[in-house]
Amino acid sequence: MTALLSVRDLVKTFPGRRGRTGRAGPPVRAVDGVSFDLGAGETLGLVGESGCGKSTTGRLVVRLLDPTEGSITLDGQDIGGLGPAGMRPYRKHLQMVFQDPHSSLNPRQTVARIISEPLLVQGASAADARRRAAELMDLVGLVPEQLDRYPHEFSGGQAQRIGIARSLATSPRLVVADEPVSALDVSVQAQVVNLMERLQRELGLAYLFIAHDLSVVKRVCDRVAVMYLGRIVEIGDKHEVYGSPAHPYTRALLSAVPLPDPAAERARERIVLLGDPPSPADPPSGCTFHPRCPKAQERCRTEQPLLRIAGPGTRQAACHFPEA
C-alpha cells in the first residue's frame, strides 16, 4: 500500500507562555517526533489524554499550522514546508471537522455561504457553488431548502452535519475530524458517526479521527495511535491494540472503558494512573511516562524507548518492557 499521507518525525514547538514576571517560559514541544502513515479510504484514530498533542497533530496535517521539523507527504509530495501559494493545489484535498459545530460556523453567514466558501476560494462561480452546496446538504441528510438559514437555527447534530458538508465541498481525500461528536448529545453522536461512516464508503475518504472516547474510536477506526506527551507510544491495527495493548499507558487508558458485558464489567481491572500528565514544557527524562508507569524500572528513567514491533502482529509500541 502506498500511503495517501505519510508523516515523519513531525515536531511542533510553541513559544513558552509569559508568566507573571513577564518572562517567557520554556518552549512547549506539543508534538515531539510523530510518524505515521494513512492509506486512502482508511481511518486512523488518535487518542490520549488532554494536552497530549492530538489537535496540534491534526492541525499540522491539514497545514493550519506550520511544522517546526519533520515532513508531511501527501501522495508522494512533501507539503510540510509549502507556503500559502504552494499549498493552494493541495488545500482542497485536506479538510477539517471541528469539535464544536456552532462555534466553528460563522453565525452571520447563511448555510449556503458557509458550505460554498471553500469552493469560492478555489475559484468556483457563485451559481456552481450554490448548486454544490444544495447537493452537499442532501448528502449529509439535511434539506436544501434550509440553505438560506443561519447556524443558530439548527440543533448541534444538524450544525455538525453542516460542518461535515463544508469539509466535503472540495471533494477532499483526507478529513481530519477533531473530536467531531464529543460536543453532541449521546443520542445524536451515533447518527453523526453513522453519517461519517457512510460518507467514507461512498466517497472513499480517509479520516484522521481524533477523540478521547475510546469506544467511538474502536467503532470507527481501522488502526489506532495512542499519544502521550507529544509522542505516539503505541500504534497498530485496532484489534491488536484494543485486544492486547502492549504499552502500559494504553493498558491504563483501556482499563477505564466500561465493558458492555456485565460479567466482564464486574471482572474489569482498573489501572489508576498516578498524578496528571507532566508539562510538555518540562518532560521527564528517558521514557516520559516513567513517573506514572506501574512497570517502570531503572532503565526507563534514562533511556527513551523507540517505537518498535511488539507482539506477534504489526503493532508497534514505545516501551522497554512491552506486554505480550
Ligand X SMILES: Nc1ncnc2c1ncn2[C@@H]1O[C@H](COP(=O)(O)OP(=O)(O)OP(=O)(O)O)[C@@H](O)[C@H]1O
Q: What is the contact surface with ligand X in residues (CB under 6 A)?
A: 14, 28, 30, 48, 50-56, 212, 280
CA angle 286, 55, 139 (to 5 degrees): 145
Give min distance, CB of 287 to ligand SF4, in A. Answer: 3
Q: Would you give the DSSP letter of residue 317?
A: E
Tell me which long-range contacts 72-77 makes (C-beta under 8 A, separation of at least 24).
72/5, 72/6, 72/7, 72/10, 73/3, 73/5, 73/6, 73/7, 73/8, 74/4, 74/5, 74/174, 75/4, 76/2
Residue linked to cell 447537493:
135
Which of 93, 290, 310, 315 forms a contact with ligand SF4 (CB under 6 A)?
A: 290
Q: Would you give the DSSP letter of residue 134?
A: H
Give min distance, CB of 168 to ligand X, in A. Answer: 23
Q: Output the nine-digit C-alpha cell for 34.
A: 510523530
Our finding on whether 104 is near Mg ion (CB under 5 A) is no
Binding string, residues 220-249; x marks residues near ligand SF4 by CB under 6 A: ---------------------------xx-
Which of 221, 173, 228 lies closest to 57 in space, CA to CA?
A: 228
Which of 36, 209, 242, 289 forms a contact with ligand SF4 (CB under 6 A)?
A: 289
How many of the chain's residues bind ligand SF4 (CB under 6 A)? 13
CA-to-CA separations, 141 to 23, 113, 196, 209, 272, in angstroms, rounded? 51, 18, 11, 21, 42
Range in contact with ligand SF4 (rule: CB under 6 A) among 235-243, 261-269, 271-279, 316-324: 316-324
Which of 12, 44, 55, 242 forms a contact with Mg ion (CB under 5 A)?
A: 55
Which of 287, 311, 315, 316 forms a contact with ligand SF4 (CB under 6 A)?
A: 287
Our finding on whether 251 is near ligand SF4 (CB under 6 A) is no
Gyration radius (Cα) of the chain, Å = 21
Our finding on whether 300 is near ligand SF4 (CB under 6 A) is yes
Range in contact with ligand SF4 (rule: CB under 6 A) among 20-28, 124-132, 235-243, 288-296: 288-296
Q: Would you give the DSSP letter of residue 187?
A: H
Which of 252, 305, 311, 315 forms a contact with ligand SF4 (CB under 6 A)?
A: 305
8 A C-beta contact, residue 58 and residue 128? no
Give min distance, CB of 95 to ligand X, in A. Answer: 18
Q: Which residues of this protein are in contact with ligand SF4, per CB under 6 A?
A: 247-248, 287, 289-290, 293, 295-296, 300, 305, 319-321
